[in-house]
């Protein structure tokens, strides 16, 4: 199933983020299956990197654990090529690992996996042509991140070019759980929904069902990172399953 179709078909789209290789690559399939069985719409797969500027402490530590185990992007892609997961995967990688592997080789390997989306947080919109041409004849969408503090003109410009879905960054700064969100988020998300041809998912700081319900009122769903990574690391699989299931069953 295509990424955009999966999100549009979901009641509330819930996309959990996990760090590939945290706990070992041999655990990757079972971790993804756990999230899929709990009701995830798609799964965001993080690629470990030594300078993760957008990541908070929980995800940074997960990436460090994977790097200490010498997990590489190519190893992750080869592992994903064996996956039986039947929901779309979205890779979140900084540009350096992709550049080091080779953009063309990366896309070639990704096409052999369930990957249907690609997020590169340190690739500015103005430099998307470093990757986009290689995706033209694939079913992999380059997912834009849009800061909700951006001017409306820029939000509209990026939104109109979007594929798959838009990742709406709900906070300034890095990933990690938050207690509160800015006062203008709802207004900006409403505007983004109006101008976007694809679904809009909110991410950064979302860590409980109240957060999910809040954002489900103004966009198509959420991306949940640090909470998922921490619960996987602690082996709290039942708690994680309950959260994903509860989030996916909320009303909009």
Q: What is the tens place of the pLDDT at every residue in 39-48?
A: 999 999 999 9
In the chain, which stretches have pLDDT less than 50? 173-174, 176-178
Mean pLDDT in the chain?
92
CATH 3.20.20.70 fits 3-248, yes or no: yes
CA dihedral 40, 249, 211, 31 (to 10 degrees): -20
For residue 2, the model assigns a pLDDT of 85
Domain range summary for the chain, segments of one domain joined by +: 3-248
For residue 51, the model assigns a pLDDT of 85
For residue 183, the model assigns a pLDDT of 67
3-state secondary structure the chain: CCHHHHHHHCCCEEEEEEECCCCCHHHHHHHHHHHHHHCCCCEEEECCCCCCCCCCHHHHHHHHHHHHCCCCHHHHHHHHCCCCCCCCEEEECCHHHHHHHCHHHHHHHHCCCCEEEEECCCCCHHHHHHCHHHHCCCCCEECCEEECCCCHHHHHHHHHCCCCCEEEECCCCCCCCCCCCCCCHHHHHHHHHHHCCCCEEEECCCCCHHHHHHHHCCCCEEEECHHHHHHHHCCCHHHHHHHHHHHHCCCC
For residue 238, the model assigns a pLDDT of 97
Q: Hey, how many other C-beta atoms are within 10 angstroms of the C-beta on 53?
A: 10
pTM of model > 0.75 = yes
User: Catalytic residues, which ones?
Assistant: 44, 55
For residue 176, the model assigns a pLDDT of 47
For residue 174, the model assigns a pLDDT of 47
């Amino acid at each position: 199933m295509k990424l955009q179709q999966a999100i549009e078909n979901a009641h509330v789209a819930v996309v959990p983020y996990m760090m590939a290789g945290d706990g070992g690559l041999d655990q990757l399939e079972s971790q993804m299956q756990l999230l899929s069985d709990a009701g995830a719409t798609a799964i965001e797969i993080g690629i470990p990197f030594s300078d993760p500027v957008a990541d908070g402490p929980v995800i940074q530590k997960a990436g460090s654990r994977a790097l200490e185990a010498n997990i590489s992007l190519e190893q992750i892609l080869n592992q994903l090529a064996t996956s039986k997961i039947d929901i779309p995967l979205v890779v979140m990688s900084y540009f350096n690992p992709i550049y080091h592997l080779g953009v063309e080789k990366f896309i070639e390997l990704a096409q052999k996996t369930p990957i249907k989306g690609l997020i590169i947080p340190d690739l500015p919109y103005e430099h998307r042509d470093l990757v986009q041409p290689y995706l033209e004849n694939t079913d992999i969408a380059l997912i834009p991140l849009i800061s909700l503090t951006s001017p409306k003109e820029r939000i509209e410009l990026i939104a109109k070019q979007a594929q798959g879905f838009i990742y709406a960054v709900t906070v300034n700064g890095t990933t990690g759980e938050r207690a509160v969100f800015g006062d203008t988020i709802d207004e900006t998300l409403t505007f983004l929904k109006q101008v976007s041809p694809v679904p809009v998912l909110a991410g950064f700081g979302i860590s409980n069902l109240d957060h999910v319900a809040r954002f489900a009122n103004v966009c198509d769903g959420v991306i949940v990172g640090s909470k998922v990574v921490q619960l996987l690391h602690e082996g709290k699989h039942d708690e994680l399953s309950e959260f994903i299931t509860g989030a996916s069953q909320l009303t909009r």
